Amino acid sequence: MVADTVQKILDIELTWRITECGKIAASIAVKKDDEFPDLPRFGVRLFLDKKLDEVRYFGMGPQESYRDKHQSASHGLYRSKVSDMHEDYIKPQENGSHFDCDYVELANSQFGLTVVAEKSFSFNASGYTQEELEKTAHNYELTESDSTVLCIDYAMNGIGSNSCGPVVLDAYRFSEELFQFRFEMVPFVKE
């Protein structure tokens, strides 16, 4: 993985395994270039059917939570609409993530998708893409995506960035140089 103007960032070996019942398993082995700074986050972004607007998850909630910002959250089973998970601020662009999740399920009245992982993960479900949040200066200018945007994150750097507060403490930095991320996506039909 490289960017247009910098050296190689990551070596990734990614394997997708799809079963006859539609379950998709991902196994991602990553080696970060040790000369590159800490990653802001690492995960997979999915564009799902907009009708998948009901969220159920077991993790930190009910409000957004991050590895360095979750003391006011509690670990439990939560339900929400995708539209209610958006935090109404533009800067920073990252918002609405949920830390330390065992699974997340997006559904409607007919069908859904469950995501589970070997280790706890963070997720974000939104009606907006990161690009839309990045380019928009005011909340009233936001344009919803044609999809439900689901981010499944192995890890995310802490929120503190020295731009609006202190530098991220070492305990909350995403500084791993070798890591593996395994998760499964399981579609289901409601009866």
The tokens for 48 are 């799902």
Mean pLDDT score, 89-102: 83
Per DSSP, the three-state class of 130 is: helix
Average pLDDT score over the chain: 90
Mean pLDDT score, 37-64: 94
Buried b (16+ CB within 10 A) or exposed e, 92-127: eebbbbbbbbebbbbbeeeebbbbbbeeebbbbbbb
pLDDT at 163: 58
Residue 76, pLDDT > 80, answer: yes
Residue 162, pLDDT > 70, answer: no
pLDDT at 133: 86
How far apart are the C-alpha atoms of 34 and 20, rounded to whole Å?
Answer: 40
Residue 89, pLDDT > 80, answer: no
How far apart are the C-alpha atoms of 32 and 37, rounded to whole Å?
Answer: 9
Query: pLDDT class for 23, splitting at 50, 70, 90?
Result: very high
pLDDT at 1: 65
Q: What is the pLDDT of residues 122-160, one digit of tens each?
A: 999 999 998 888 888 888 888 999 999 999 999 988 876
pLDDT at 92: 64
Which is more confidently placed, 111 or 166?
Answer: 111
Residue 170, pLDDT > 90, answer: no
